[in-house]
Structure 1
Amino acid sequence: MTTELRNQEITIQPEDSEVVLSVERISKKFCRNLRRSLLYGVQDIATELSGGKRTSAKLRSQEFWALKDVSFQLRRGEAVGLVGSNGAGKSTLLRIISGLINPDTGSVKIRGRLAPLIALGAGFNPILTGRENIYANMSILGLSTKEIKAKFEEVVDFAEIWEAIDAPVQNYSSGMAARLGFACAVHTEPDIFLIDEVLSVGDVKFKMKCHRRLAKLRENGTAFVLVSHNSHSILNICNTAIYLAKGQLITVGETEAVVRKYEEDLCLSGMEKATGPLILPKKSPDESFGLDITLVCFKDAQGNILETPMSGEPANLCVECFAHKYIDNANLGVVVKSLSGENDRVLYFTSASDNEFLKISPGNTELQIQMPYCCLIPGAYTAKIYIKSGVCSFDVVESFRFTVQADKTISRCLFYQPRTWKVISK
């Protein structure tokens, strides 16, 4: 059954029966000044009441485009990921699709039932009990009272809150509210799921249950729009991806290519040079603690500087330093974090943990961490590098940013595994 929601500029009945969501040239603008925004709102209402036409396609003073001419389609059983930095317009796009706000230009076409998981439990009334909120929430998502009764026990079993089902939701922990919110949404069995960073809440057991349930729904034809700052989630769940930046559609296509483009831009953002050598000035003897890091870079086996190391290929992380004195037990440490995702630590090693205490003579010295294979997957990273001796710290580089590239499809993994293949006949 199809319906037309005129007040949300949403028309249902796409031409292709497999297309469950079609976003066509969506644009949305906001005003940075609250008082002026209220004035514009009154003017727009007055224009509509008088039968005039709003000039939605033009910006007025202090307005900006949160989204501008964004278009894409989603077919049954597909999953599309939205990537982009904060303020790119991802959440605005989801709110327009869900009908929470209206676009200024463009239209959204949907087929079937849509369930937004923009904030788990956000629609709950804190005074009502969990039981009452299940009926209220699922009815808003389109189920009849009879359907809710049939699914009630399954919802509570999934949320694992039988002991608190008749307690007010305001007494629930954030984890309990999250479990109940997700349980309500997934048991509506929608045709389209809008998921905005909600899978990052809850304990490990609950996350595993969520992913299993989502996989089952997708097998049954449910389509997904997923927003996440964790690139691994996008890569492992989504067929295609959309890259937004400042409201503009940068690229759309195969997930790995889109995520790689996003991560490359993320690494270069705000940096004159995010890859290649990091050159640092030598300190004066009065400012130095005895040793100064002067250069950080990657080199190949022949000593040539690598602008970007390649996954699965040899690479040496080189740290050049100038010592004002002899140091016989230096400890070189490296902490590597991913700039995508949640700034996760992906590597940590020190020469001391490998029982390699380095001897550094006065003058210029190059310290090398020789890696027969770069095991980092393609992406953007930052490394903290320090040299110390015992509790005495000589120098530290807080952020050496670099990208890792690849000439093969390996981004769907957490790391690169060096390997060989062999066939043994028996």
Structure 2
Amino acid sequence: MAKILLEVNHLSKRFCSDPKLALRYTIQDIFWEFRRRAEGENYLRQGEFWSLYDVNLQLKAGEVLGLVGHNGAGKSTLINLITGILRPTLGEVRWNTNQVVMIDNQSGLNAVQTGRENIYNKLSMYGVNEQQIKKNIHNIIDYSGIESFIDAPVGTYSTGMRLRLAFSIYTQLHPDIFIIDEALGGGDIRFQQKFQIYLRDYVEKGGAILLVSHQIPQIKSLCHRVILLNQGQVYDTGEPDTIIHTYNELIEQSYSQSIDNNLSQQANKDEDLITGEKFGTVKIEQVEVVATDGKEIFPGSQVQIQLTCHSQLDKYPILIGFALRKDELFLMANMTGIYGDQHYQIKAGQNEFRCTINQLPLLPGKYQLEVYVVDYDTHDILGRKGIRDQLYSFEVKGLADPSLNFSRSSKCLFHIPVQWE
């Protein structure tokens, strides 16, 4: 059984958003520290919030544990508690090793010193003796690929060059744990792949990694388990594919709620935008987008848009239009049924209308329709759905095989003419 190198038990951290109250609470907490109170209380005082609450995890030798979550989910707070930068309000961090190396996107290099001097200083800080550094310095420089600039101040390096040098230094260290905080996105693709090969070899030899990243491909390729944080708590834990799917759903749900709130607020502000005596005489009750073969919708599918509405007008000439949106925000296209002198005629009571799109020119994703019924003569809006109420949503599915998905979607691409100068 693999050795447990790191244990986090019921870890919690609270902060105060009011600076004056925060100062008062800090003094109170110091006083209670002198009174030898064991730990913080499990409640919030006025102005406080939980940045992290009741988090538990274990990291074993030979394991890569991923940590994902949106900005503000508590990842940085957790790392700062684990590394001892912050003290927990509740819970504990238990280390079963003292050989830990932290890698962050700041690289930890001195901008005034040269690359060569940074190699000596950084490795010396981690206990590597001078003789060993001299023996391996050529390998480090060669690994970084910045031989021409190794004696220039690091402050003149690009971000990618600094990270390449830092990663090259880390290859000479053999800790029990690497904590990598948003640091694998620097440098070119080849160097990233090169360093990831080193990390895989490191893990196979018994090393462990705690990886914090927004780079989903890195999480999928490196991690054995992933923890998803949301609002300071562990939302889910499991295999990378499962957690990434949950993570994407969580982001989409959060984004949709944000858009809904914005649309609702905007609708209240724009209450008088839609004018006309006859507005509301047609009530749109239902909108559906379905594949004509009765199956799921894919790129290039033949689809039918079905509209059901109730009218107070009888034998009245109308036009029907649709606005296609992405992410409930970005207008992609407008579609209007029947052009020129032709029009639909609506009757009093229940009405059903259908239109067909032979090849749907959309890639996989979620889309929304805003629907409106317009007076043919005056173009006044008689009924509309999708501004004050929720847009109708439909999903274009992707095929399991990416190459087949691309092949199918490419068949429905449309041509946009341009004029070259």
TM range (shorter): 0.5 to 0.7
Q: Is the 8 Å Cα contact of residues 176 and 207 (structure 2) preserved in structure 1?
A: yes
Q: Is the 8 Å Cα contact of residues 23 and 71 (structure 1) preserved in structure 2?
A: yes
* Residue 299 of structure 2 is aligned to residue 299 of structure 1: no
Q: Which residue of structure 1 lines up, in the alignment, with residue 52 of structure 2?
A: 67
Instruction: Give the alignment partner of residue 22 of structure 1, picking from 7, 18, 22.
Output: 7
**Pair 219,267 (structure 1): closer, same or farther in 2 beyond 3 Å:** same
Q: Over the residues paired in the alignment, what is the CA RMSD in angstroms?
A: 4.9
Instruction: Give the alignment partner of residue 142 of structure 2, picking from 142, 146, 157.
Output: 157
**Pair 404,103 (structure 1): closer, same or farther in 2 beyond 3 Å:** farther
Q: For 1:253-293, what per-residue CA distance to the aligned partner results, in whole angstroms no more than 9, with x for missing partners?
A: 22222222222222122536999xxxx9x9889xxxxxxxx
User: Aligned AA for 2:12?
Assistant: S
Q: Is the 8 Å Cα contact of residues 66 and 211 (structure 2) preserved in structure 1?
A: yes
State the distance in 2 between where 1:85 and 1:244 align.
8
Instruction: Give the alignment partner of residue 193 of structure 2, picking from 199, 208, 221.
Output: 208
State the distance in 1 between where 2:183 and 2:145 align.
18
Q: Is the 8 Å Cα contact of residues 302 and 357 (structure 2) preserved in structure 1?
A: yes
Q: Which residue of structure 1 lines up, in the alignment, with residue 232 of structure 2?
A: 247
How much has 1:181 moved relative to structure 2? Answer: 1.9
**Pair 150,266 (structure 1): closer, same or farther in 2 beyond 3 Å:** same
**Percent identical across equivalent pairs?**
31
State the distance in 1 between where 2:303 and 2:80 align.
45
State the distance in 2 between where 1:326 and 1:271 align.
27
Q: For 1:137-175, what per-residue CA distance to the aligned partner results, in whole angstroms no more than 9, with x for missing partners?
A: 233345344443343222222222222222222222212
Q: Is the 8 Å Cα contact of residues 7 and 93 (structure 2) preserved in structure 1?
A: yes
State the distance in 2 between where 1:147 and 1:81 align.
32
Instruction: Give the alignment partner of residue 233 of structure 1, picking from 218, 230, 237.
Output: 218
State TM-score, norm by structure 1. Answer: 0.65
Instruction: Give the alignment partner of residue 103 of structure 2, picking from 83, 108, 117.
Output: 117
| Higher deviation after alignment, 129-138 or 36-45 | 36-45
How much has 1:417 moved relative to structure 2? Answer: 6.1
Match of 2:184, SS state, is helix
**Pair 414,385 (structure 1): closer, same or farther in 2 beyond 3 Å:** farther
How much has 1:193 moved relative to structure 2? Answer: 1.8
Q: Which residue of structure 2 lines up, in the alignment, with residue 175 of structure 1?
A: 160
Match of 2:49, SS state, is strand
Q: For 1:306-353, what per-residue CA distance to the aligned partner results, in whole angstroms no more than 9, with x for missing partners?
A: 7xx7xx9997676679x97799xx9x999799xxxxxxxxxxx99xxx
Equivalence map 1:12-411=2 (5 Å)? 18-49=3-34, 51=36, 55-112=40-97, 113-121=99-107, 123-269=108-254, 271=256, 299-303=290-294, 361=339, 362-363=343-344, 366=355, 368=357, 381=365, 383=367
User: Aligned AA for 2:7?
Assistant: S
Q: Is the 8 Å Cα contact of residues 298 and 317 (structure 1) preserved in structure 2?
A: yes
State the distance in 1 between where 2:205 and 2:52 align.
32
Q: For 1:378-425, what per-residue CA distance to the aligned partner results, in whole angstroms no more than 9, with x for missing partners?
A: xxx555999xxxxxxxxxx9x99777899x9x7xx8777699xxxxxx
How much has 1:244 moved relative to structure 2? Answer: 0.8
Q: Is the 8 Å Cα contact of residues 235 and 256 (structure 1) preserved in structure 2?
A: yes
How much has 1:236 moved relative to structure 2? Answer: 2.5
State TM-score, norm by structure 2. Answer: 0.66
Q: Is the 8 Å Cα contact of residues 232 and 414 (structure 1) preserved in structure 2?
A: no
Please say which structure displays the higher CA radius of gyration. 2
Q: Is the 8 Å Cα contact of residues 141 and 165 (structure 2) preserved in structure 1?
A: yes
Q: For 1:190-230, what per-residue CA distance to the aligned partner results, in whole angstroms no more than 9, with x for missing partners?
A: 22222222222222222222222222222222222222223
State the distance in 2 between where 1:226 and 1:317 align.
44
Q: Which residue of structure 2 lines up, in the alignment, with residue 288 of structure 1?
A: none
User: Aligned AA for 1:299?
Assistant: V
Q: For 1:167-192, what per-residue CA distance to the aligned partner results, in whole angstroms no more than 9, with x for missing partners?
A: 22222221211211222223313222
User: Aligned AA for 2:224?
Assistant: N
Unpaired runs of at least 5, structure 2: 261-266, 268-272, 277-284, 308-316, 345-352, 371-385, 408-421
Q: Is the 8 Å Cα contact of residues 22 and 74 (structure 1) preserved in structure 2?
A: yes
